[in-house]
Amino acid sequence: MIEERVEVFTVDRDGDRLDVYVTGNSDLSRARVQALVEEGRVRVDGHVAKKSDRLKAGQEIEVRVPPPEALDALPEDMPLDIPFEDSSILVVNKPAGMVTHPAPGHPTGTLINALLAHTDDLSGIGGKLRPGIVHRLDRYTSGLMVVAKTDRAHHALSEALQRREIKRLYVAASWGHLSESPLEVIAPIGRDPAERKRMAVVENGRYAVTRLRVVERWLGAELLRVALGTGRTHQIRVHLAHIGHPVVGDTLYGAGWERGIGGKAQQWAKTLSQKVERQFLHSWRLSFAHPVSGEVMRFERPLPDDLQTWAEWARNDSVT
């Protein structure tokens, strides 16, 4: 039986509204937080709270998130690249364009639909909305994910993720040139107050760390190796945009950025922007301890054909 999720926060400063503080320190939207408050599922120092309550440092907030409502996702027979599978877990190389789990606007054609056709071991694991999902990739990000097939595996992997013991390395192309390499970006991420569908670096956001290293320097962009120190929504894309080097092809956080590139790189950047048809971001390496055996496992998948083609053009048409 799937139980409700309980999150507890200790307030670190005075003055924030309750709903604003919880939104900035959780993966919940402000509307979702406000609904939970109205349902009496949020308490401050043991007392039922109001969304407009002003907080004081040292107070304890308890948020009780009920299990997800049932969603009858249907199995769909779609090809999957699965580097590894046993009775507890599977590792899948998600293609770009595939949504991880059903959501409004994407009820079918998702990774969950494909996994349900591949195996019947996922029912209820991690909740019916996201059965088996331990971590996710954005729709247009390709690469490796681990999926749990048992409650025991899901619980163990989720805890390992919280302890930052699941290592995820990415390849990304970003506009412009970093001021230094390696570079560590430490900046809190939360919902963009001006546009709730976006994330942003905000003062009351959740702690986030991204580590960047230049692999190739191109004329008006760079190929990067990226390591996650935390796992916030859109983290790599938000952090790179925040420091002025958005992911090439990222229409949400970097649309039109290449138009600011001048000099001999101007036409090069325009051409690359026209060639790249999705965000240049790929999860190429995944490592973790097996949730049952404890064996350290590592998987790699090279750049898919589309990213490889664009990288070769950028490399060959750059002057270094």
138 is catalytic: yes
Catalytic option among 53, 121, 138, 306:
138
List all residues 6 or more positions away from 97 whose beta carbon is below 8 Å from its beta carbon: 139, 140, 278
- What whole-number distance in Å separates Cα of residue 105 and Cα of residue 21? 29
Q: Are 244 and 187 in contact (CB under 8 A)?
A: no
Q: Among positive and negative, which fits the CA dihedral 151, 286, 276, 173?
A: positive
Distance CA 151, CA 118 (A): 18
Contact present, 310 and 273 (Cβ < 8 Å):
no
Question: Taking a C-beta distance cutoff of 8 angstroms, is the pair 212, 165 a contact?
Answer: no
User: What gap in Å lies between CA 237 and CA 255, rounded to an integer?
Assistant: 12
Q: How far apart are CA 149 and CA 242, in angstroms?
A: 37
Nearest to 8 by CA among 42, 33, 32: 42
The DSSP secondary-structure symbol of 74 reads P
Structure token pair of residue 2? 């799937």
Q: Is the peptide bond before 182 cis (omega within 30 degrees of 0)?
A: yes
Beta strands in 69-119 (DSSP E): 81-85, 89-94
In contact, 16 and 54? CB cutoff 8 Å: yes
Residues assigned a catalytic role: 138
